[in-house]
């Protein structure tokens, strides 16, 4: 078993468009999580989920690499000081764009406390995502 | 002190240790160090070393009976790890679906 989550997905869209969606703050804020983000090496970013009854979680880290079409940043949940790494790689393919996503360093988390922390994050996250989905639906209906 | 998840990853990173653990799960009964050594054609010392790593990770429990030591499989720690992996699998899977939806609804962007 590897200490890494890997995902691959093909998007039926040009590589530039997908790159903008994963690297520009206003776009990240639309589909993923409220972001103070710049695709510049060394930038200290912050992702903040919207406030709900559980309160919401902050994720922060440093941009390690940001050259089209590779984006790497560290991923630290709340004040855990445990660093994991998220890597986005894009590749132009005939159908559009292939994304390869990796989240590594999960073994850096200490056992029990990390699981408890993440379970609470899970609840908070789902709440925030649902809000986001509602928001996007409204946007689509309005437009 | 290494944390438990790290010890778990270390324990299951080695193919021989995975095989030993698997054999114990399949056996669903305790096996002696001698039995394991015979089954895997590795030295008793080698087995003992692997067993120690598996024990540190909590994947094996040892029971001394007379001069022989018996090993039991304990899969419980793997559940913890699995929980983690499942959480992130789900998290990133959902996020990429959101990204796809976002891209599809912003065709003119």
Whether A136 and B101 lie within 8 Å, measured CB to CB: yes
pLDDT tens for B9-62 read: 778 778 888 889 888 888 878 999 989 999 888 888 999 999 999 999 888 999
Q: Answer whether residue A14 shows pLDDT above 70.
A: yes
Task: Given CATH 1.10.10.10, say whether it is the number of domain B4-76.
Answer: yes
Q: Please give the residue that has the higher pLDDT: either A123 or B43.
A: B43
Q: Which residue among B13, B87, B95 sits closest to A32, beta carbon to beta carbon?
A: B95
Residue B30, classified by CB atoms within 10 Å of its CB into exposed (0-12), middle (13-18) or buried (19+), is middle
* Predicted pLDDT of residue B19: 87
Lowest mean pLDDT among B3-12, B62-71, B82-91: B3-12
For chain A, the domain total comes to 1
pLDDT band at A113 (very low <50, low <70, confident <90, very high): very low
Q: Indicate yes or no: CB of B3 within 8 angstroms of CB of A109.
A: yes
Choose from A111, A113, A129 for mutation: most chain B CBs within 10 A: A111
User: Of B71 and A141, which is predicted with more confidence?
Assistant: B71
Q: What is the pLDDT of residue B3?
A: 63
Whether the per-residue pLDDT at A29 is higher than 80: the answer is yes
Average pLDDT over residues A103-123: 54
Please tell me which of the candidates B5, B104, B109 has its beta carbon nearest to residue A109: B5
Distance in Å, alpha carbon of A93 to nearest chain B alpha carbon = 16
CATH number of the domain that residue A30 is part of: 3.30.530.20
Distance from CA of B78 to the nearest CA of A (A): 11
Identify which of A18, A21, A110 has the shortest CB distance to residue B3.
A110
Q: Average of pLDDT values for A36-46?
A: 96
Report yes or no: B98 at the A interface, CB cutoff 8 Å: yes
Answer whether B3 touches A (CB < 8 Å): yes
Contacts of A14 (CB under 8 A, 6+ apart): A92, A96, A97
Which of residues 14 through 73 in chain B touch A, CB cutoff 8 A? none
Contact across the interface for B105 and A22, Cβ inside 8 Å: no
Task: List pLDDT tens digits, range A50-108.
Answer: 655 555 678 899 999 999 999 999 988 776 667 889 999 999 999 999 999 998 876 66
Q: Where are the domains of chain B?
A: 4-76
**Structure ipTM:** 0.71
Q: How many other C-beta atoms lie within 10 A of the C-beta of residue A42?
A: 9
pLDDT at residue number A109: 57
- Position A2 scores a pLDDT of 55
Its domain, for residue A123, covers: 4-142
Q: What percent of chain B has pLDDT over 90?
A: 32
Of A11, A125, A129, the CB nearest to B100: A11
Is the distance from CB of A45 to CB of A60 less than 8 angstroms?
yes
Count of A-B CB contacts under 8 Å: 83
Examine residue A38 and say whether the peptide bond preceding it is cis (omega within 30 degrees of 0).
no
What percent of chain A is modeled with pLDDT above 90? Answer: 47
Q: Tell me the pLDDT of chain A averaged across its residues.
A: 77
**Residues of chain A neighbouring B88 (CB-CB closer than 8 A):** 5, 103, 106
Higher-pLDDT residue of B63 and A52 is: B63
pLDDT score at A89 = 96
Q: In Å, what is the CA distance from B73 to each residue of A48, A136, B13?
A: 42, 49, 17
> In this predicted structure, what is the pLDDT of residue A130?
47
């Amino acid at each position: 078993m590897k200490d890494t989550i890997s995902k691959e997905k093909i998007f039926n869209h040009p590589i530039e468009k997908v790159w903008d969606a994963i690297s520009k703050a206003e776009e990240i804020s639309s589909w993923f999580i409220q972001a103070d983000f710049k695709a510049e090496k060394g930038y200290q970013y912050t992702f903040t989920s919207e406030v709900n009854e559980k309160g919401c979680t902050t994720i922060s880290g440093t941009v390690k690499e940001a050259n089209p079409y590779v984006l790497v940043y560290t991923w630290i949940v709340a004040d855990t000081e445990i660093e994991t790494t998220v890597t986005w790689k894009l590749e132009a393919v005939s159908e559009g764009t292939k994304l390869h996503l990796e989240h590594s360093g999960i073994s850096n988390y200490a056992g029990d406390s990390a699981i408890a922390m993440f379970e609470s994050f899970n609840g908070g996250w789902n709440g925030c995502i649902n809000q986001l989905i509602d928001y996007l639906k409204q946007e689509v209906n309005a437009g | 002190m290494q944390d438990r998840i790290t010890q778990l990853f270390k324990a299951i990173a080695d193919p021989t240790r995975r095989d030993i653990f698997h054999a114990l799960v399949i056996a669903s009964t305790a096996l002696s160090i001698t039995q394991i050594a015979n089954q895997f054609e590795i030295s008793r010392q080698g087995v003992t070393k692997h067993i120690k790593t598996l024990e540190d990770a909590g994947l094996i429990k040892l029971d001394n009976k007379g001069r022989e030591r018996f090993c039991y499989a304990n899969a419980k720690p793997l559940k913890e790890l699995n929980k983690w992996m499942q959480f992130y699998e789900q998290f990133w899977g959902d996020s990429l679906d959101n990204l796809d939806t976002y891209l599809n609804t912003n065709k003119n962007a």
